[in-house]
Amino acid sequence: MHRTSKFSLCCLAILLLPTGGRSIIDGTDAAPGEFPWIAGIVRRDVAAPGLVGGGTLIGDQWVLTAAHSVRDLPVSILEVWLGATALDDAASRQTRGVLAVYVHPDFETDNGTSVNDLALLLLDQPVTTIAPLGLLGNPGDLPVGEAVRVAGWGISEVGVVEPTNDLQRAGAEVISNASAAMTFGSVIEPVHLAAKDPAEIACPCVGDSGGPLVATISGTDRLVGLVSFGSLDCDPALPTVYTRVSSYLTWIGESLDLTSSPPGMILSGKGRAITNGGKAKVASGADFGELRRPGSRRTRSFAVSNAGVGLLTVRSVSLTGRAFSLRATPPSILGSGGDGTMRVTFDAPRKGKRHRGAVRLLTNDPATPLFLLRVEARVR
């Protein structure tokens, strides 16, 4: 029996993007269009973009990845790149921000191994030009010995800190969990899926975390696993352990259901609904009234609520009008029945003038993707 106590999370550091090179130990270039739904997850708070790991587009607003890659990172620094196989191909890629990270509630990690190692990223905008990858629904369709393939931009040599620029792929075969336990011991659970290259040449490594393990079932590609952990030195003679996607269909489906039904945004002031694009009226609170002297200030609060079934996402809030300013914006995510507050302040600049402004809320509400709130005030 061969056993090693050297385990490794496949994404232990920020990886700065290089100008070339390979990924996945002894991998080969992915064919154009072979992995159209693969996502690169990067940090945008470093001087050069930092690769966090890989992911898979499984819904028009959802990317599935490894929990250990993203669990401690604020959403404000995360960015998702889609639609390009070269990380430096800024012209072809689609870039999305991240509104929320949903880590599986039972995720645990210890000494380089993980269980329930998956997380969903809610993108700030839907992706409409890339078809999401379907999930394997029947575990029986993935027997031991089934051919699978994995892809990523991770390092190609142990000790190197730079990932590759060009997407790499490697073939593998599913092995039994019992075989994997001969290497990794009792940490292997039914929710794990193990695979290795039968030729013992190629293997995922640092930077490939969360990347897709794919099987072609009856002529259709299906997501079957996510890169989770392997040997510390990325030894292709040893198995790589993946999160078994079919064990989490209910949890994944509950998250995808949040955006499968439309939201319904309602903006109100002084307890009354405001009409999209309507003129400022005293009853709605959008008319700030008359201020008696320059330099005086008045603030109005507006309620933003979601009356629909689906998740309401507010992608951006912008304001025009020299004398008006945003003091508080609504939450970027509102569940069904949720509400938040937006506050607008008017600072009177001079006498005898009527001032007008407009607040624009860009949302995912298909009925009202752009909500326009007109505000006005006067100074004596």
Is 117 designated active site? Answer: yes
Is 247 designated active site? Answer: no
In whole angstroms, what is the distance from residue 22 CA to residue 154 CA? 8
In whole angstroms, what is the distance from residue 317 CA to residue 320 CA? 11
Q: Which of 156, 209, 231, 284 is catalytic?
A: 209
Q: Which of 68, 104, 192, 355 is catalytic?
A: 68
The 3-state secondary structure of the chain reads CCCCCCEEECCCCCEECCCCCCCCECCEECCCCCCCCEEEEEECCCCCCEEEEEEEEEECCEEEECHHHHCCCCHHHEEEEECCCECCCCCCCEEEEEEEEEECCCCEEECCEEECCCEEEEECCCCCCCCCCCECCCHHHCCCCCEEEEEECCCCCCCCCCCCCECEEEEEEEECHHHHHHHHHHHCCCCEEEEECCCCCCECCCCCCCCEEEEEECCEEEEEEEEEEEECCCCCCCCEEEEEHHHHHHHHHHHHHHHCCCCCEEEEECCEECCCCCCCCHHHCCEEEEECCCCCEEEEEEEEEECCCCCEEEEEEEEECCCEEEEECCCCEECCCCEEEEEEEEECCCCCEEEEEEEEEEECCCCCCEEEEEEEEEEC
Is 246 designated active site? Answer: no
| Closest listed residue to residue 243, CA positions, set 362, 65, 5 | 65
Q: Which of 69, 104, 117, 305 is catalytic?
A: 117
Which burial class, exposed, middle or buried, applies to 46 when counting CB atoms under 10 A from its CB (0-12, 13-18, 19+)?
exposed
Catalytic residue positions? 68, 117, 209
